[in-house]
Amino acid sequence: MSAEAADPGAPLRRRSRPRIDLRRLGRVALRGPVSRDRLPDAISHVAEAHRAHHPDADLTILRRAYVLAESSHRGQMRKSGEPYITHPLAVTLILAELGAETTTLTASLLHDTVEDTEVTLDQVKEQFGDEVCYLVDGVTKLEKVDYGAAAEPETFRKMLVATGNDVRVMSIKLADRLHNMRTLGVMRPEKQARIAKVTRDVLIPLAERLGVQALKTELEDLVFAILHPGEYEETRALIAAATGPDDPLETIADNVTHTLRDAGISAEVLIRPRHFVSVHRVRRKRGELRGTDFGRLLVLVGEDADCYAVLGELHTCFTPVISEFKDFIAAPKFNLYQSLHTAVVGPEGAVAEVLIRTHRMHKVAEAGVVALGNPYAQDPAAPPQTEPSDERADPTRPGWLSRLLDWQESATDPDTFWTTLRDDLAQDREITVFRTDGGTLGLPAGASCVDAAYAQYGDLAHTAIGARVNGRLATLSTVLSDGDTVQPLLAQDTASGPSPDWLDHARTPAARIAITGWFSDHPDEAKPDPETADATGPGTRGGPAAATEREAPARSRSGPRPTGVVVDDPNAQVRLAGCCTPVPPDELTGFVVRGGAVTVHRRECPAVAAMQEIGRAPVVARWEDGEGRESDAGCRVTLVAESFGRPRLLADLTEAIATADAAIVSATVEPPSEQRVRHTYTLRLPDAAGLPGLMRAMRDVAGVYDVSRAQHPAPTG
């Protein structure tokens, strides 16, 4: 299987190396007579594959496990007519080729003994130790009980629980399903279709998330052949017709080989054929297939830095297709996958996709968590554990699996569990967001602050009222990006509950199940919250607020000009724009509007850019020295207060405004959204110098998290 066995320092070469043919290896493993005085030929194939990855492995335990499995299954036959021992042998060979460690292979040989024979777990523990016993027990629990119509949902629920404690249980289960899919032809067509659909909906996404691409791709092809036989045959015929001596990828591979050799980069350049489903997807995407669409180039190097050196040479010496470039080394996928993806244009315009990775990356890309060995092996350099613990901390367990384990216990209904599981597995990308305490949260792409709140606080998130994202206030509907820092904000009232709107923004099963469960327990709470409505005050459910007066005429010092504002034309009527209500010491810009009047805006007002876009020339405007205020009537300003809804909020805000000696000209309060309320006030102050103090007083009101100057678009005149 492995390009990992290749010597990175060996002379540069290129040869076609197909994807691992696990089916062929499975047949080979079952050939040859069994001799009592030596390692049986069947298990010797497993031993050979195992030694390729683990040269120093002790094979004694494998022989003992085979002897026990063969003797206990003796006389049992599969529906295909083969001796039953062929099944655990084939499953074990699949895992051996992927690089599984000895304990996993031992448990794989024995994975059906406790369920189907007289062998007990105590016997397994006595002969092979606690680890093997733990794995065999985990696999056995997946298939032990008949659950009737809910068999598949309950079986996979148990699979998740078992896998959460040891990812090797899932590895054995995936290999077990692969061999069963290979021999599915003996089943009735309707049963084949049912098993294939479950494999497609659950097992293949799980294999993808565990990074076991070698299993995933063959499972995809087997499911494709069963569920879409016509399209499968068309694809098979296309691949067969494209196989020949004139492979355009060969020419590009030769050019890449020479390019890298001339650059002094030691690399192995391989042609990697696409599997059936991959070819079918490319065909659906592009219509007519090109000669280079039946495979990709794989460049294997020794170090991470070499990957980028190869990329630089390819983009320098060939024409790159920039839209095809992806860096999964700097940002690995959720399933541990790392590689550089690019595409280059070869001779005669042929475009070849190129994968660039180290030998280690390639091993993990093919085998995923299986390639990582025993995640529970004691590190000799680590301090000894002083107290025994039932918790099996797994450093390879992906975050998505931890999430599934967190919510699966809450989904008591099998149909809810099944639907939610499929929806979660459909997520193909994961992001990591940071908590303010230094911890991290793994969430699916598209997750919102609602998801982060439930991921961090569980049911306490029912009281969430907002969040801070990267230090700024944000609504709970805000979609998070990879690397964001998020701090959910909880209300002090622990009796409050979620909003029905949260279900529109929740992406994680944990959040959706928790919210749905809360409303199931509080059916009357699905209606609008009267307290939240009261927070806006009577008669305030209008549309979005706009400035009450778009242009506020200011008193003129001589004729129509307002006191404190100077423009180029001393006779022009000057108006302060109501959209931004400038006050000293705001920087000003004016524009001539209909009737020859000059409307003066704050320089950062959005209306300024809008005026300039339609060709209006700006007029120089400034505050007059020593003036800058309306001496009798004071100055006018429009403020926007953002707050979380609560009772008496409007009363407290108006009291704060009155205490600051400001008069309310007009006020508009928008309908609450996700417990957030937006207030817009047009106020008159005796002096512009009091504006900062007024804004501070408004911010100090409980529940108000931001107060800012209004930025409403102004009419263009």
Bridge partners (DSSP) of residue 13 are 268
The whole-angstrom separation of Cα 71 and Cα 294 is: 46
**Number of residues written out for the chain:** 717
Sign of CA dihedral 621, 624, 628, 633: negative
The whole-angstrom separation of Cα 483 and Cα 492 is: 28
| 231 carries an active-site annotation | no
Q: Which of 41, 48, 82, 115 is catalytic?
A: 115
Hey, what are 71's tokens? 């003797």
Contacts of 636 (CB under 8 A, 6+ apart): 552, 576, 578, 581, 583, 630, 665, 682, 683, 684, 685
Query: Residue 585, preceding bond cis, omega within 30 degrees?
Result: yes
Contacts of 395 (CB under 8 A, 6+ apart): 375
The whole-angstrom separation of Cα 377 and Cα 379 is: 6
Whether 392 and 165 have beta carbons less than 8 Å apart is answered as: yes
Whether 464 and 476 have beta carbons less than 8 Å apart is answered as: yes
Of 592, 587, 584, which Cα lies nearest the Cα of 551? Answer: 592
The whole-angstrom separation of Cα 386 and Cα 667 is: 66
Question: 269: part of which helix (H) or strand (E)?
Answer: strand 268-273
Instruction: Supply φ then ψ for residue 430, to 5 degrees.
Output: -125, 145
The whole-angstrom separation of Cα 431 and Cα 574 is: 53
Instruction: Supply φ then ψ for residue 667, to 5 degrees.
Output: -145, 140
Whether 306 and 337 have beta carbons less than 8 Å apart is answered as: no
The whole-angstrom separation of Cα 478 and Cα 443 is: 14
Whether 336 and 364 have beta carbons less than 8 Å apart is answered as: yes
Count of other CB atoms within 10 angstroms of residue 9: 7
Of 580, 589, 585, 578, which Cα lies nearest the Cα of 554? Answer: 578
Bridge partners (DSSP) of residue 116 are none
Question: 666: part of which helix (H) or strand (E)?
Answer: strand 663-669
Of 478, 485, 626, which Cα lies nearest the Cα of 566? Answer: 626
- The H-assigned helical ranges of 625-674 are 649-659
| 116 carries an active-site annotation | yes
CB hemisphere CA count around 354 (13 angstroms) = 34
Q: Which of 41, 48, 116, 525 is catalytic?
A: 116
Amino acid present at 481:
S
For β-strands 574-577 and 551-553, DSSP reports them as antiparallel
The whole-angstrom separation of Cα 449 and Cα 582 is: 36
Enumerate the active-site residues: 115-116
